Structure 1
Amino acid sequence: MNSFRVRLKQLREEHNFTQQDLAEHLLISIRQYRRYEKGDYEPNIETLIKLANYFNVSLDYLLGRSEDKSRYPRDY
């Protein structure tokens, strides 16, 4: 999940949120949130979904599996 921690930090900084802001949104301690960004701890699926929804991005983007931020597949 190394890509996850990089994406998480990028999204947080793009939106001008602090680590404290996100910890409060997720209802976790700042220490726990910092572990996500450091890559020391991996969030559960419910937390990943909360983050993707909060930033309005797809889980694939959040996890580094896609460069497309859109939450829903496009019609081709």
Structure 2
Amino acid sequence: MFDANIFAERLQLLRKKANVSQKILSDHIGVSYHTISKIENKQRAASIEVITAIAEYFDVSLDYLTGRTDLPDITDKNKGLDITPEESELLEEFRLLNKYEQNIIVGKISEILYNKNIENRNMEMSEEIAEVDFKDRVNK
């Protein structure tokens, strides 16, 4: 659930950590200085467009900004999982899809893995048949 207090605190923290003024941030994301000030002082709710722009500017996840996680970005969540930057990017893009589109992608991946498994089994069976055939010929 979105927590406006956490969002305001994290926005201030990110801004100060990056040494970015409210004016610089507001100019960059296309809102007024007063909008940023009111958001940080919990006097105004931020639109999803503003939240997204802030996340992109500071290169953090929306989940972090909105209080759903304490990890600033997706790569931190995946530490210890040995995920490459390319895999992380794919995951981020996957999350942008709606559920229907995600199900299509998962279905395609399942189909590819199923076919790969069948190919591996066929290869193993072919190797076993060749080995038995070779032994039969040698033993004759």
* Partner of residue 78, structure 2: 74
4+ long deviations beyond 4 Å: none
- The higher relative CO (CA closer than 8 Å, separation ≥ 6) is in 1
- Correspondence list, 1:28-43, <5 A: 28-43=31-46
Counterpart code for 1:58: S
Distance 2:31 2:50 in 1: 10
- Correspondence list, 1:22-33, <5 A: 22-33=25-36
Residues 4-32 of structure 1: per-residue CA shift (max 9 Å, x gap): 00000000000000011111012111111
Residues 38-69 of structure 1: per-residue CA shift (max 9 Å, x gap): 01111111111111111111111111221111
Counterpart code for 1:59: L
Distance 1:27 1:45 in 2: 14
Displacement of 1:71 in angstroms is: 3.2
Which of 6, 10, 20 is the equivalent residue of 2:9? 6
Number of residue pairs aligned between Structure 1 and Structure 2: 76
Once structures 1 and 2 are overlaid, which stretch shifts more, 1-10 or 29-38?
A: 29-38
Residue segments in structure 2 that go unaligned for 5+ positions in a row: 82-140
Distance 1:16 1:22 in 2: 10
* Partner of residue 20, structure 2: 17
Q: Percent identity?
A: 33
* Partner of residue 56, structure 1: 59
Counterpart code for 1:74: N
Choose between structure 1 and 2: higher helix proportion.
2
Aligned-residue Cα RMSD (Å) equals: 1.5
Once structures 1 and 2 are overlaid, which stretch shifts more, 21-30 or 11-20?
A: 21-30
User: Computing the radius of gyration over CA atoms, which structure comes out larger, 1 or 2?
Assistant: 2
